[in-house]
Amino acid sequence: MLIGAVEAGGTKFVCGIGNEAGEVLDRVSFPTEQPEKTLGRVIDYFRDKNVSAIGIGSFGPINIDVNSPEYGYVTTTPKPGWGNYPVLPELKRAFDVPFGWDTDVNAAALGEATWGVAKGLDSCLYYTIGTGVGVGVYIEDKLTHGLVHPEGGHVLTRHYPGETFAGVCPYHGDCLEGVAAGPAIEARWGVKASELPADHQAWEIEAFYIGQAIASAVLLVSPKRVILGGGVMHQMQLFPLIREQVRRNLNGYVSASALAEGIDQYIVPPGLGDNAGLCGSLALGLRALRG
């Protein structure tokens, strides 16, 4: 049985085919242009693939309220053409199969819980630190939806001591995304994040913010694992720095070995690597099929 997967990003779309074991058997990628054109390419890709279900993990904000008339829409994005666009309804018209639909980060969290580094756990958080910061929330074996959907990239953190950088989030200035996503690093240092050396102070500041946000998230929802992906997390030296910040902020208050001697297995990179997004969408498709 084949499942279709769509990783619908603001910069590029990835479409693929996979199976129930989470194996990706085929994948293609193309830039995100106008929705008609982009979704046309998605439909062309799946036309002869004979998939039993399709899962879509999408950039947002999106409507994931099944009772809403706008279910399946991309909503208030400033991205030209995509504001209030019926992405899911358009794909549903083309294929008569069950569809899964959620945020890209919720999808990635589900993928990791199904086949990746959170396999067998009933909760995890999936952070992506890239062009923006997003958080997927998987709790008690369910993806968190709620009022809209999680947007944990925009939480407020305390400033790094002495930091005067005002941040780049158009809504909040110095929210987590505004001080810690790739564009913030670039704005702060005047060079691309990927060009900063591994021992640059930038990474200590980065870990300060991310570690602080994770500590508060661990306190609020007590996830069984925290997964950090996205372009910025290619800087592997961040992991020990972030773990140290989390420990420092919790200061022993939560008594759990996972947060002490086990922290190297608690705050981790995606187990599915660069397939985390696509496998997440695959997991959404599989879940839709099984009801």
Ligand X SMILES: Nc1ncnc2c1ncn2[C@@H]1O[C@H](COP(=O)(O)OP(=O)(O)O)[C@@H](O)[C@H]1O
Using the minimum distance from each CB to ligand X, give the nearer residue, 176 or 232: 232
- Encoding tokens for residue 14? 């990835």
Contact window for a second copy (CB under 8 A) among 14-22, 155-163, 193-201, 281-289: 155-163
Please state the closest distance from residue 135 (CB atom) to ligand X, in A. 13
Please state the closest distance from residue 21 (CB atom) to a second copy, in A. 27
- Site for ligand X (CB under 6 A): which residue of 37, 93, 158, 234? 234
**One symbol per residue from 45 to 84: x for binding a second copy (CB under 8 A), - otherwise; what is it?**
----------------x-------------xx--------
Size of interface with a second copy, in residues (CB under 8 A) = 48
Using the minimum distance from each CB to a second copy, give the nearer residue, 144 or 275: 144
Contact window for a second copy (CB under 8 A) among 26-34, 142-150, 183-191, 229-237: 142-150
- Site for a second copy (CB under 8 A): which residue of 216, 235, 275, 281? 216
- Site for a second copy (CB under 8 A): which residue of 255, 261, 290, 291? 255
Binding status of residue 194 toward ligand X by CB under 6 A:
yes
Gap between the Cα atoms of 186 and 181, Å rounded: 9
Cis peptide before 61 (omega within 30 of 0): yes
Angle made by CA atoms 61, 150, 185, in degrees to the nearest 5: 80
Size of interface with Zn ion, in residues (CB under 5 A) = 6
Contact partner, 232, from a second copy, Zn ion, ligand X, none, Cβ < 5-8 Å per class: ligand X
- Site for ligand X (CB under 6 A): which residue of 55, 100, 182, 285? 182
Binding status of residue 255 toward Zn ion by CB under 5 A:
no
